[in-house]
Structure 1
Amino acid sequence: MRQIADWNDQQFDYRDSGTGPVILLIHGTQSDYREVYHVERLIEAGYRVIVPSRPGYGKTPLQLAASPTELATFYRGWMASRQITRYTVYGISAGGPTAIALAGNNPAVRSLVLACAMTHQISIPYQTWLIQPALQRPLQLIQWVLWNYVKDKLVKFPEEASVRMVEMTSLLRRDDIRSQLNGTDQELLYQVGLQNGPGRGVLFDLTQHIDRQILQTVTCPVLIVHSKSDRAVPFEHALYARRAIAHAQFLESKSPGHLIWIGPSARRDERMIERFISLNH
């Protein structure tokens, strides 16, 4: 259920569900407070999961923060204002830099999970062109057309559309991806396709950067989970964080692409994350 926060002269939307130890989940690109990855299982496992929409997604204005560090400072103050003094930070994909900045030098953070997460600036083709302010409206229109196309195919051809969705963020061949997906994966990807969509937050994601020195300020327990088959956020991001945070634990996912919550090791990865959070909260 969407909730609207009005704090520090800013309004933004978020979800706050479940009871128990608190997890602040920082979602990835083209998502929002409705993030579906692992959320329901964490709630069932006895956690309270808070998912704010990042700048440019949901009803959260892009102007809420200009950088991951600034956004982390905002979230830190917001959580303190709610008298939440102990929580785990769970950073997904493009939410990684904000999650890292939030965990750095923050005694309230009991542990940090980085799931297929960016740990430094991303590099993609035509990046300089894609972040031009004048092109944001046309790019949003293109995103809208593409997501509606994906949703249509998911309804009509769910199995094949699921394979194509994974293929966009995978280094594997299509047939290899197809052999690794099951009915549960297809159902999750169907939910993702119907929930995700265009947002101005892509501009925030493409321009965000986190200094290595900030990673080195993270002293809480850290778990990094990443797949070598990830095309969207290359495996090197996981290795970079592992080198910068000497005490970090590492789990290599067998996911066929960017999303660790699908594929042959999905439930194992989720259980390991749940166990890690439980031991360190």
Structure 2
Amino acid sequence: MHYIAEWNGQRFEYRDSGSGPVILLIHGTQSDYREVYHVEKLIAAGYRVIVPSRPGYGQTPLQLADSPEALATFYSKWLASRQIKQYTVYGISAGGPTAIALAGMDPGVHALVLACAMTHRISLPYHRLLIQPVLQRPLQFIQWGLWTYVKDKIRKFPEEAAVRMVEMTSLLPRETIRTHISETDASLLYEVGLQNGPGRGVLFDITQDIERERLEAVTCPVLIVHSKSDRAVPFEHSEHARRSIPHAQFIESKSPGHLIWIGPSARRDERMIERFIAFNQMT
């Protein structure tokens, strides 16, 4: 179910679906509460999955929080107010820093999953220029134009558009990517491409950082899943997390790019995540 909530003087939106042990899923860039990666399978596996739209996405204002720590504090207190005392945090891509901060500060988090997740500030060309306030409106317009173009191509050429979508976040050549994408993958990417879109949250994502001390503070069980072919969030982010959280478990995804839910190991990776979550629900 989709909700618009007012809590502690803040307005935000979220999805709350399924029943059973709670998973707080923190989505990545240019997504929102409608995140599709793994969500329905987790619900079918017997979990209650809560997906808030992060700051600047959907109907959640950018002003909700100005850092991963502030957003983690907000989520922790909001969940406590709803009598949710224990839960798993599942951080995807740019949702990683908030997931890490939350796992390190809230003793109610009994497991953390980091899926192709940022674990420190992302390195971008022209970073200082991109965050200038005067450029935010023009950049929003550019995002809108690009997504309008992408969605048009997805509708007209869904199979080729799927390849190009993966290529944007992959270190592999296009022809290799083409051999790794199944009909199921193409269908998922079609859904993602039409659902995702521009948002002011990109500014939150490219300015956020997480100190190593935050990673070192995580004592709950941790599972890291990442692909060496990831261009958007380089594999080094997983290595950084593994150095900082020595007890973390690791799975190398065979995804052809950033999205571990795409490619030959996608279902294996999802099952391993589900087993990790289930095991740590019992301990």
- Which residue of the partner structure matches residue 18 of structure 1? 18
Query: Is the 1:105–1:219 contact (alpha carbons within 8 Å) kept by the matching residues of 2?
Result: no
Deviations 1:146-171 (A, max 9, x none): 11111111111111110000000000
- Once the two structures are TM-superposed, the CA of residue 178 in structure 1 deviates from its matched residue by 0.2
Deviations 1:253-276 (A, max 9, x none): 000000000000000000000000
Aligned to 1:266: 266
What is the identity, as a one-letter code, of the residue corresponding to 1:39? V
Q: Distance in 2 between matches of 1:229 and 1:112?
A: 23
Question: Superposition RMSD on alpha carbons, in Å?
Answer: 0.6
For residues 213 and 26 of structure 1, the distance between their equivalents in structure 2, rounded to whole angstroms, comes to: 21
Distance in structure 2 (CA, Å) of the matches to 1:145 and 1:105? 39
- Aligned-residue offset at 1:105: 3.4
Residue 140 of structure 1 and its aligned partner are, at CA, apart by 0.8
Structure 2 residue 68 is the aligned partner of structure 1 residue 68: yes
Question: How many matched pairs?
Answer: 281
User: Partners in 1 of 2:38 and 2:133 — Cα distance?
Assistant: 34
Aligned to 2:247: 247
Q: What is the Cα deviation at residue 173 of structure 1?
A: 0.1
2:33 is matched by which residue type in structure 1? Y
Alignment partner, residue 121 of structure 1: 121
Distance 1:136 1:184 in 2: 36
Structure 2: segments with no counterpart, 5+ residues? none
> What secondary structure is seen at the aligned counterpart in 1 of 2:214?
helix
> 2:5 corresponds to which residue?
5
Map of 1:92 onto structure 2: 92
Matches within 5 A, 1:1-281: 1-281=1-281
Q: Secondary structure at the match of 1:243?
A: helix
Moved more, 147-156 or 243-252: 147-156
Q: How far apart in 2 are the matches of 1:166 and 1:262?
A: 9
Question: Using the alignment, how far apart are the partners of 2:199 and 2:191 within structure 1?
Answer: 18
TM-score normalised by the chain length of structure 2: 0.99
Query: What letter is aligned with 2:31?
Result: S
SS at match of 1:104: helix
Letter in 1 for 2:163: V
**Contact 1:122 / 1:206 at 8 angstroms: preserved in 2?**
yes
Separation in 2 of the partners of 1:2 and 1:138? 30
- For 1:61 and 1:214, the matched residues in 2 are separated by 25
Q: How far has the Cα of 1:219 moved from its partner? A: 0.3
- The residue identity in structure 1 corresponding to 2:198 is P
Matched residue of 2:114: which SS? strand
1:128 Cα offset (Å): 1.1
The runs of 4+ residues in structure 1 deviating greater than 2 Å are: none
Q: Residue type matched to 1:235 in 2?
A: F
Cα distance in 1 between the residues matched to 2:175 and 2:231 = 16
Q: Deviations over 1:237-265 (max 9, x none)?
A: 00000000010000000000000000000
Distance 2:170 2:127 in 1: 20
Q: CA deviation at 1:18?
A: 0.3
Consecutive unaligned residues in structure 1, runs of 5 or more: none
SS of the aligned residue for 1:273 comes to: helix
Measured after TM superposition, the shift of residue 210 of structure 1 is 0.4
Letter of the 1:76 counterpart: S
Deviation at 1:235, TM superposition (A): 0.1
Distance 2:242 2:106 in 1: 19
SS in 2 for 1:4: strand
